[in-house]
Structure 1
Amino acid sequence: MDISEETFIINLGIHIKQLREKKGISQEDLANDCDIPRNQIGRIERAEINTGIRTLVKIANALDIEPKELFDFPLK
């Protein structure tokens, strides 16, 4: 399957938002737990930025999941 980087980043952002909401965590709380600005979480979820691995690991830790779970989503 061939998927564009943009499509992947969009799906990743949607998945992170879903995981965050499932845990009942606000963007602000997630940002505080990750020690990053709140607007950065919003920009990741809206696929406005291509975030780095370090930030993704922080997000996974804050959500109490394995980093690989961030990438476990259907490609649309």
Structure 2
Amino acid sequence: MASETSKDYLIKFGHHLQALRKSKNLSFRKLAAKCDLEHSDIKRYEKGEINMTFSSLFELAKGLEIPLKELMDF
């Protein structure tokens, strides 16, 4: 059984984040306006290109108006 790499987790998280954002009918810019993040960073999170800080996770949950647990359930 192959172990998942950090990159695999970033990509899975990104797909989950994108699904949550779209379910709320939010563009990158609208989500960024609701939290203290740049829209370009949100795009990169969704693509699994960059890792995020713990505070970024809190900001995303706040902007999506969901509990942090729901954001992390991917």
- TM beyond 0.5: yes
Match of 2:63 in 1: 62
Partner Cα separation in structure 1 for residue 62 and residue 17 of structure 2: 12
Between the aligned residues of both structures, percent identity stands at: 37
**Residue type of the alignment partner of 1:26:** S
Shift of 1:35: 2.1
TM-aligned CA deviation for residue 67 of structure 1: 0.6
Bigger CA drift: 1-10 or 47-56? 1-10
Q: Show structure 1 runs of 5+ residues with no match.
A: none
Q: What is the CA distance between 1:51 and its match in structure 2?
A: 0.6
Q: CA deviation at 1:5?
A: 0.9
Structure 1's consecutive aligned runs of 4 or more residues displaced over 2 angstroms after TM superposition are none
Alpha-carbon shift at residue 6 of structure 1 (Å): 0.8
Equivalent residue of 1:40, what SS? helix
Q: Does 1:8 align with 2:9?
A: yes
SS in 1 for 2:48: coil
Distance 1:17 1:26 in 2: 10
Give the deviation of 1:28 after TM superposition. 0.3
How far apart are 1:70 and its partner, in Å?
1.4
Deviation at 1:3, TM superposition (A): 2.2
**Structure 2 match to 1:53:** 54
TM-score by length of 2: 0.90
The gaps in structure 2 that reach 5 residues or longer are none
Q: Distance in 2 between matches of 1:44 and 1:63?
A: 14
1:70 & 1:6 partners in 2: Cα distance? 18
